[in-house]
Amino acid sequence: MTKLSVNINKIATLRNARGGDRPNVVQTALDCERFGAQGITVHPRPDERHIRYQDVLDLRPLVTTEFNIEGNPTPGFLELVKKAKPEQVTLVPDAPDAITSNAGWDTIKHQAYLKEIIADLKAIGTRVSIFVDPVVEMVEGAAQTGTDRIELYTEAYASGYARNPAAALTPYAEAARRAVALGLGINAGHDLDLENLQYLKQNIPGLLEVSIGHALICDALYYGLENTIQLYLRQLK
C-alpha cells in the first residue's frame, strides 16, 4: 500500500490568520496519525507564513510516523533540518515568494549543487527525496545526485486528469518506470485529491508515498478529518 503523508501547512495557515494557537498544529498532526495517516509533512518557508520553524521543532519529538520536511535548501532550512533530523527531507526549488511549489529541479543544471547537499543530509541519517517534473532526463539526472527518492510533481497530471486521464498520466508512468530501473524510490505530490488519486496509484509502478495537504484539508471541512483520511487511504489500497 502506498503511504499517505498529510501536509499540515493549511492548518498552520488557519492558525496564523487569527493568531493564538487554534487550531493547534501539533495536536492536528497527532490526530492525523491517530486517524491512520502514515506520515506528517511540513513545508516551512523563510517568511514562516504557515508552518513556523518552531512548529517543526515542537513536532519532531511527538510525531511517531514518518516526519517529512519539505523546502528549498537555504542555509536556514538546512540548519533546521539538522536540528530536527526527520525521517525524510524533500528538496523543493521554490522561490521565497512562491505561493506554492510550481516546478521540479533541473537535476542536470543543478546536479553538483544537489549532490553536495544530499550527501550532507544523508550524513545525519535522513532519507532524501527531490522534487522533479515527469521528465525522463530529469529522473536520470536525479539518479546521479545520490538521492534516495524522487517526488513527482503532479500538478500537470491533476490539471489534465479531467480531460484525458491516460494522456495526463503517460509522462508520469514513463518517468516512474525509469526511476524504478535506476533504483530510485518514488513519491508524488501536488494537487492530488479524491478524484484523481486512485488512478495515479493504480498506474504508477513503485509508488511509495503521496503527500497531500490542500485538497485533504478542504475535504475535511465537509467530511471531517478522520473520515477524510480514511477516504484517502481507501484510494491508495
> Taking 60 as the threshold, does the pLDDT of residue 213 lie above it?
yes
Q: Per-residue pLDDT tens for 142-152?
A: 999 999 999 99
The active-site residue, picked from 33, 66, 70, 151, is 70
Number of domains in the chain: 1
| Rounded Cα gap, residues 26 and 222, in angstroms | 22
Q: Which of 33, 50, 151, 190 is catalytic?
A: 190
Specify the CATH number for the domain of residue 82. 3.20.20.70
Domain that holds residue 145: 3-235
Residue 209 is among the residues annotated as catalytic for this protein: no
pTM score, two decimals? 0.95
Please indicate whether residue 190 is annotated as part of the active site: yes
Strand partners, 187: 151, 209
Task: Please report the pLDDT score of residue 94 as a whole number.
Answer: 81
Q: What is the pLDDT of residues 167-205, one digit of tens each?
A: 999 999 999 999 999 999 999 999 999 999 999 999 999
33 is known as an active-site residue: no
- CB-CB contact of 195 with 157 (8 Å): no
Higher pLDDT, 81 or 205: 81
| 217: helix, strand or coil | helix
Q: Is the peptide bond before 23 cis (omega within 30 degrees of 0)?
A: yes
Is the predicted pLDDT of residue 98 greater than 60, yes or no? no
Find the catalytic residue in 43, 50, 151, 209. 43
Task: Burial-class residue 214 by CB neighbours within 10 Å (0-12, 13-18, 19+).
Answer: middle
Whether residue 78 has pLDDT greater than 90: yes
Query: Is residue 99 pLDDT above 60, yes or no?
Result: no
Q: Are 5 and 68 in contact (CB under 8 A)?
A: yes
53-70: pLDDT as tens digits: 999 999 999 999 999 999
Q: Which three cell numbers stand for residue 111?
A: 546536479
pLDDT at 134: 97
Residue linked to cell 515527469: 134
